Amino acid sequence: MSLKLILSDIRKKNMNCPNFQIHQALHQRWQKAISTLNLDLNPIKKGSYFVDIETVDDENLRIILKVVFNDVETEDEDYLMLFNGGLILKKDDKILLEPTCCVDLADLKDWEYIFENNSSGWSQLWIGHPYVFYRKNEGKIEFSEYTELMLSELENIQPVFEVNESELKTEINKMKERQINFHHRVVKLLK
């Protein structure tokens, strides 16, 4: 299992919020945005405009920052909130979960809450909307399908996959470090 911290929506003002089903047209718009900004970025998969932050070099990040922060004060900001994106959960090179609409790089705290939550019942994991529900079950974390419904509106939720709780916690901790490193890179490049 692995997690990737990814960013998306480089040109927020010119792109729509992604849906779960990203079509070829969105991919083409993303490619156009990348080429318009002269960026050298590769989406994590065809049809997506998510980019692994680990693959964004300083030159490309500098261009992105120029677009994202062109009218933002740079003191005492939580810069991660200004980047759309989030975590992708992969297992055996298969993407199991990816962020959806209205989520940003600071939303790692929602993943961390999984380990603070003592409930064994279903709980919402904010990954944007649609979102998913998770529950703890004998050392595993089970995840539901994507949904826009509230927990009270759902009947008989079925898990669609599960991951080992301790492995997920290890990966979340790695992502926290990567998130901090990315934030430091942003601060350094904005100076």
Determine the pLDDT at residue 28: 62
pLDDT score at 135:
98
Among the ranges given (18-32, 52-66, 140-154), the one the predictor scored with the smallest mean pLDDT: 18-32
Say whether pLDDT at 21 is over 50: no
pLDDT value of residue 17:
45
Dihedral angle at the C-alpha atoms of 164, 165, 170, 172, nearest 10 degrees?
110
- Look at 12 and 175; give whichever has higher pLDDT: 175
3-state secondary structure (DSSP) of residue 99: coil
pLDDT at 35 over 70: yes
Helix (H) or strand (E) holding 84: strand 84-91
Name the residue among 127, 70, 67, 62 with its Cα closest to residue 101.
127
Cβ-Cβ contacts under 8 Å for 119 (sequence gap 6 or more): 135, 136
What count of Cα atoms within 13 Å lies in the side-chain half-sphere of residue 67?
17
The first and second tokens of residue 120, run together, are 């064994």
Confidence of residue 2 (pLDDT cuts 50, 70, 90): low
User: What is the pTM assigned to this prediction?
Assistant: 0.81
**Confidence tier at 36 by pLDDT (50, 70, 90):** confident
Identify whether the C-beta of residue 50 lies closer than 8 Å to the C-beta of residue 30.
no
The mean-pLDDT minimum among 1-5, 10-14, 77-81, 111-115 falls in 10-14
pLDDT of residue 101: 80
Residue 53 has pLDDT above 60, yes or no: yes
The per-residue pLDDT for range 96-154, each reduced to its tens digit, is: 999 888 788 888 999 999 999 999 999 999 998 899 999 999 999 999 999 999 999 99
For residue 71, the model assigns a pLDDT of 64
The pLDDT of residue 134: 98
d(CA 185, CA 191): 10
